[in-house]
Each structure stands twice: as C-alpha cells, then as structure tokens.
C-alpha cells in the first residue's frame, strides 16, 4: 500500500466514534475525552504513515492508542505505593496509615449529613470547633482542645494569639528547621511576633529565661528538637521548672511537641522521646502536635491545654483560615475512641512500631520462599534498622529485617528505578550499595502484589 492510499484509508472521526470499541470507551470515559484521545490517535497514525512505517492493523492501532491516552489522563497523581523504606512515619509517603475503624467512620460521616455546626440539644446553629474536644480532654487529662489544619498552623496560631506585636521567648537550641521549610523564626515573623532568643546553642539556663521575660513578653515557647539532637556538653531547662517560672510571671507557656509521642518507647530501645502526658504533667499551659505522626491519624494540628487559653485561640479570627473539614474531626474522634478503649493494636502506626522482630523476619522469609526460583535466588534476608520517622529520634533505629535484591544487569539505582516504575510503585532504600526492602513497613495486603512484581522483574 502506498502512502496516498494509506492516508485515504484513515477512518473519519464520526465513523471511528461509532465503532463498538469506541462506544464502550465512551460509556467509561465520556464522549468528549474519547474524541480528544482519538484526535491524538489519528495524529499518531498520520505521522506513522508519513514516516513510511504504517502500522499493521489500523483499527487496533487507533483503539490501543486511545486507551493509552485515556488511562494516562484519568489516573490520579496521588497513588498508593508500597513502603519498603522501613521509615514508619514517612512524610513523603503520606505519614500515618489510617486505622480501619477510622476509615469506616469516615465513610459513615462523609456519606451522610452530620451535626458539624448544629447543636442537637438546642436545635440551632452550633460550633464546629468543639468536636473532638471532649474526647481529647478525657484522653490527655486536659481542660480543653482545639484542632487546626496541621501542627505548623497550630504553632503559628498559638504565637499569633498570645504574642502578635509582642515577644516570644525561645531557647537558641530549639530554633529548628524541619523538612518542608518549617522554621521557627520564619513562623514567628509570619505570626507577627518578635523572637527573643535565650541561652546558647548547647546550653540554656532558667536564669536566661528569667532575664529575657519582660513587659513585652507574650509567650514562652518550647520546641521539640525533632529531627536533630545536640549531644555532649548540653543543658536545657526542665519543663516543670520553666512552667513554674512562667506561672510566676503570668506568661503563657506553650510547647510544640512535633510528633506527639503517647507511649514509653524505651521498650523499643528508644530513649528520651518525651510523651504528651509528661508535658501535661509538667504544667505546660498549651501543647501542640501533629495528627499524622505518632498519633497515627489524619493530618491535623492538635492543641490541648487550659480552657482559658484555648478559648482565646478559638476567638482568634485566624482560626477561620486554618479550620479543618468534618472528615478530620470524624477521624480524630474515632482515633481517640480507639486509644481510650485500649485498642491501640488496631492502629497501624503502633502495630508497625511494636511488631516483634521475629514476626517481621517470618514475614520476610515466607515472602522469599513464595517467590519463583530466579527471584528467590536474587534476594537475601538481612537484619536492618527501621526508623520511626516524622522527626522522632533521628539517630535511633528499631531492629528489623529486609530483603536485599541484586540483579546481574542492573545497578542498585537502576533496580530501585525499576521498582518505582511498576504499579503500584515500590519504594525501597539503598544501603551499602544494595537495594533493599525493609519488611517492617510492608503491609500484609502489599505482599501479593509485591510477589508478582518481583517475580516479573527477575523473570529469566
């Protein structure tokens, strides 16, 4: 067939749209997207003919090309991935995995009307910002609580409420930057407050705070150093000592706790990770932390503490710009019910943290056994160190087990890329020049998909 004849044989759009295959695509993707994708397909066909390489079967060429375009276009960019990094709270991979009961409650609230801003007792308009308060107060043993978009917003709101146009006293050792450009000095500026640094990088004494507090002081802020540690010759002021000093001066004392740890992590061999309850006991007036780090839930900034102070935050108009959706309240309330009824074992973040090393090892070994011969021979079981992540205990790990993979034709980087390109993508880690998947963060319902992937990647 010569070029001209081939061009003449290209079907017209109207005919094309009436093919049964095209009809089926229109039922699934709608008329206008299908037409658009077919225009692209026709263009491709023309250029193939122009280049003298007309495809064998015009009809299947056009349909395949249309399907490819449509699938690519209608794929969400936020996709499920398999986390083989061993980092439990991985900010880049969506932080905490939600508990099943929370997901069920989200479906219930999301698919029905609800009393988000309706007072069922009075039968009239109510306030959304009281949701989650009662359960928070009960769980944390505080008077009041308030929820905003994330912990960065919570910190900003606390500063703005108590120190706009005034001063905030912070220890130099706590002027941190956390991934994603959360910098205490910048937040301070945006919140309209002046930063007063006290102490030196490694040492801050109570006297340093005492002499910095003056008539312009609006707030004393303590910040969890999260992703870094100063070690060696250091000193910081104990929270209860500082709380007592703030009370004497009648200055509110707030703490940004970052991940908001709830349990004693020393059983995992992790030292010095303070708990929210420690801060509550020490007399800090307001505490903020993230909802999607160790709390193990949805993204939120949780502020707990004294009612008088939380009420002031509620009256700050900035709250309107930082408020959360009904789904966030729904998720947090169900999460708190899990904690209050001691169903921590249903919270994936804690399941992963506390899963015994032997169980992780068993899962990894069984997975390896289940692989086809070539894949099995390409991987090896090794001990590894998982991490909490989310800015918690950066240099301490949790004993874990990983599978390392080696491929005769591919470097670890190339192997890592192959794993990333499959659907759903598998994200691993390169350690000592080997690509590995840590099994502590690989979910049970990831295993089957992962097995198929690995078998295919190492097929002879």
Ligand X SMILES: *Cc1c(COP(=O)(O)O)cnc(C)c1O
Residue number with the shortest CB distance to ligand X? 258
Give the chain's radius of gyration (CA, Å): 28
Please give the biggest Cα pair distance in the chain. Answer: 95
Interface positions, 204-243, toward ligand X (CB under 6 A): 223-224, 226
Nearer to ligand X, 270 or 372 (CB): 270
Q: Min. distance of Cβ 273 from ligand X in angstroms? A: 12
Does 290 participate in binding ligand X (rule CB under 6 A)? Answer: yes
Does 439 participate in binding ligand X (rule CB under 6 A)? Answer: no
Q: Min. distance of Cβ 300 from ligand X in angstroms? A: 8
Tokens 């708990």 identify what position?
275
Nearer to ligand X, 182 or 419 (CB): 182
Residue 47 CB partners (closer than 8 Å, separation 6+): none
Does 258 participate in binding ligand X (rule CB under 6 A)? Answer: yes
Q: Min. distance of Cβ 148 from ligand X in angstroms? A: 9
Interface positions, 347-406, toward ligand X (CB under 6 A): 391
Q: Min. distance of Cβ 118 from ligand X in angstroms? A: 29
Nearer to ligand X, 258 or 305 (CB): 258
Choosing from 49, 152, 243, 437, the residue that interacts with ligand X (CB under 6 A) is 152
- Of 55-63, 256-264, 360-368, 372-380, the segment contacting ligand X by CB under 6 A is 256-264
Nearer to ligand X, 37 or 157 (CB): 157
Each residue of 327-355: b (16+ CB within 10 Å) or e? ebbbbbbbbbebbeeeebeebbbbbbbeb
Contact 218/249 with Cβ under 8 angstroms? Answer: no
Does 259 participate in binding ligand X (rule CB under 6 A)? Answer: yes
Q: Is 274 exposed, middle or buried (0-12, 13-18, 19+ CB in 10 A)?
A: middle
Choosing from 136, 178, 220, 276, the residue that interacts with ligand X (CB under 6 A) is 178
Does 173 participate in binding ligand X (rule CB under 6 A)? Answer: no
- Of 146-154, 323-331, 357-365, 380-388, the segment contacting ligand X by CB under 6 A is 146-154
Strands of the 87-89 sheet, one edge to the other = 87-89, 379-389, 398-405, 434-438, 429-431
Does 171 participate in binding ligand X (rule CB under 6 A)? Answer: no
Q: Which sign does the torsion angle of CA 413, 415, 416, 418 carry?
A: positive
Does 246 participate in binding ligand X (rule CB under 6 A)? Answer: no
Q: Is 121 exposed, middle or buried (0-12, 13-18, 19+ CB in 10 A)?
A: exposed
Torsion of CA 122, 128, 131, 133, to 10 degrees: -100
Residues in the interface with ligand X (CB under 6 A) total: 14
Choosing from 150, 349, 384, 441, the residue that interacts with ligand X (CB under 6 A) is 150
Q: Which sign does the torsion angle of CA 46, 47, 50, 51 carry?
A: negative
Tokens 């249903």 identify what position?
346
- Of 120-128, 150-158, 214-222, 370-378, the segment contacting ligand X by CB under 6 A is 150-158
How many Å apart are CA 303 and CA 319, to the nearest integer?
12
Structure tokens at 223: 């910040």
Nearer to ligand X, 226 or 349 (CB): 226
Interface positions, 291-350, toward ligand X (CB under 6 A): 301
Q: Which sign does the torsion angle of CA 45, 48, 50, 56 carry?
A: negative
Cα→Cα distances 435→81, 88, 203, 344, Å: 17, 18, 41, 33
- Of 102-110, 251-259, 409-417, 450-458, the segment contacting ligand X by CB under 6 A is 251-259
Q: Min. distance of Cβ 409 from ligand X in angstroms? A: 41
Q: Which residues bind ligand X (CB under 6 A)?
A: 150-152, 178, 182, 223-224, 226, 256, 258-259, 290, 301, 391
């Amino acid at each position: 067939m010569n070029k001209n004849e081939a061009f003449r044989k290209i079907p017209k759009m109207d005919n094309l749209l009436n093919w049964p295959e095209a009809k089926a695509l229109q039922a699934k993707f709608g008329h206008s997207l299908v037409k658009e994708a077919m225009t692209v397909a026709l263009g491709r066909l023309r250029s193939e003919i122009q280049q003298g390489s007309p495809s064998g079967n015009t009809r299947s060429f056009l349909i395949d090309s249309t399907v490819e375009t449509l699938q690519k276009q209608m794929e969400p960019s936020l996709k499920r991935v398999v986390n083989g990094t061993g980092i439990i709270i991985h900010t880049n991979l969506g932080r905490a995995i939600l508990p099943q009961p929370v997901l069920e409650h989200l479906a219930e609230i999301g698919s029905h009307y609800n009393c988000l801003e309706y007072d069922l007792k009075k039968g009239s308009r109510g306030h959304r910002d009281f949701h989650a308060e009662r359960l928070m107060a009960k769980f944390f043993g505080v008077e009041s609580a308030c929820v905003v978009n994330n912990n960065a917003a919570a910190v900003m709101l606390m500063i703005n409420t108590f120190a706009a146009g005034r001063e905030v006293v912070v220890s130099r050792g706590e002027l941190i930057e956390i991934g994603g450009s959360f910098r205490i000095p910048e937040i301070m500026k945006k919140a309209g407050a002046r930063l007063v640094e006290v102490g030196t990088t490694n040492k801050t004494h109570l006297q340093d705070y005492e002499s910095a507090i003056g008539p312009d002081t609006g707030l004393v802020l303590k910040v969890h150093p999260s992703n870094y540690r100063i070690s060696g010759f250091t000193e910081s002021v104990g929270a209860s000592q500082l709380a007592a000093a703030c009370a004497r001066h009648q200055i509110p004392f707030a703490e940004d706790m970052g991940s908001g740890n709830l349990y004693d992590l020393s059983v995992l061999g992790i030292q010095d990770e303070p708990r929210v309850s420690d801060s509550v006991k020490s007399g800090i007036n307001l505490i903020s932390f993230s909802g999607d780090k160790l709390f193990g839930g949805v993204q939120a900034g949780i502020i707990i503490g004294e009612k008088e102070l939380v009420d002031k935050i509620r009256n700050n108009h900035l709250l309107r710009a930082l408020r959360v959706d009904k789904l966030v309240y729904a998720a947090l309330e169900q999460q708190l019910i899990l904690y209050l009824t001691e169903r921590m074992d249903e919270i994936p973040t804690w399941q992963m943290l506390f899963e015994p090393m032997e169980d992780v090892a068993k899962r990894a070994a069984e997975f390896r056994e289940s692989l086809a011969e070539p894949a099995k021979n390409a991987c090896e079981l090794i001990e590894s160190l998982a991490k909490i992540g989310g800015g918690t205990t950066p240099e301490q790990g949790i004993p874990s087990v990983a599978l390392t993979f080696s491929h005769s034709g591919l470097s670890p980087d190339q192997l890592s890329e192959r794993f990333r390109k499959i659907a759903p993508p598998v994200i691993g880690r390169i350690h000592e020049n080997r690509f590995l998947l840590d099994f502590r963060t690989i979910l049970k319902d990831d295993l089957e998909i992962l097995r198929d992937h690995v078998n295919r990647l190492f097929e002879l």
